[in-house]
Amino acid sequence: MNDIKAVIAKNITDLRLAKGLTQLELAEQLHYSDKAVSKWERGESVPEIATLKAIADLFGVTLDHLVNEHSPEEKRESAPDRKRRFQNRSLVTAMSAVLVWFVALLTFVVLDLLPIEVEIHWLAFVYAVPVTLLLWLVFNSVWFNPRTNFLIISGLVWSTLGAFHISFLLFERNIWKIYLLGIPAQLVIVLWSRIKPIVKNKIQK
């Protein structure tokens, strides 16, 4: 059996590459420096047990998987599994978005049949936009790359404000000043996106 450091190094590298992460991106998610990850992948040091568990959880494997060698057959089997998992998650996200717009369409049809003086049925599609973005935010946080959440949140803020503005216009009330609320909100989002995690530069021997 190869040296345990070399085995762990190869497994971390293979898992990172399979998920399409750079060493810096992996380091940020683990709250370490990219130099620490580089040393792990070169076999110069081994992460402490708590960090190994965090790595295993991040990639959806067991600790046993991280510390043992794997045959080429196992690797060929795991790669399609990871690809299939990503495709399934993407399909679930897409189906959820389609469901939101189906509900919006159903609401549009039902309201269009009602004897309402003010035509509000098309508002269902307006509000479908922020609801779709909210769902995307949830799935992206759980399954995909949470680093892009600030873009989704920005769209969610402005689409919600826009929906409220349009709703009030139907009743001849122009509340355009509501967009002023989006300015500090956007500023907070931008500042939040620039926060860097505190990294640990101490390398485990």
- pLDDT tens-digit series, residues 105-121: 999 998 888 887 767 88
Query: Mean pLDDT lowest for which of 11-25, 69-83, 123-137, 180-194?
Result: 69-83
CATH 3.10.20.30 fits 4-72, yes or no: no
The phi and psi torsions of 158 (rounded to 5 degrees) equal -70, -35
How many C-beta atoms surround the C-beta of residue 13 within 10 A? 17
Q: Mean of the per-residue pLDDT values for the chain? A: 85
| Total residues belonging to the chain | 205
179/177 Cα distance (integer angstroms):
5
166/103 Cα distance (integer angstroms):
20
Which pLDDT band holds residue 137 (cuts at 50, 70, 90)? Answer: very high
For the chain, what are the domain ranges? Answer: 4-72, 85-174
> How many percent of the chain have pLDDT more than 70?
88
Q: Running DSSP on this structure, what letter comes out for residue 200?
A: B
pLDDT at residue 78 tops 70: no
24/27 Cα distance (integer angstroms):
5
94/75 Cα distance (integer angstroms):
29
For residue 203, give both structure tokens: 């390398």
User: 159 or 76, which is more confident?
Assistant: 159
pLDDT at residue 199 tops 50: no
- pLDDT tens-digit series, residues 5-42: 889 999 999 888 888 889 998 988 888 888 999 999 99
pTM for the model:
0.60
For residue 151, give both structure tokens: 């873009």
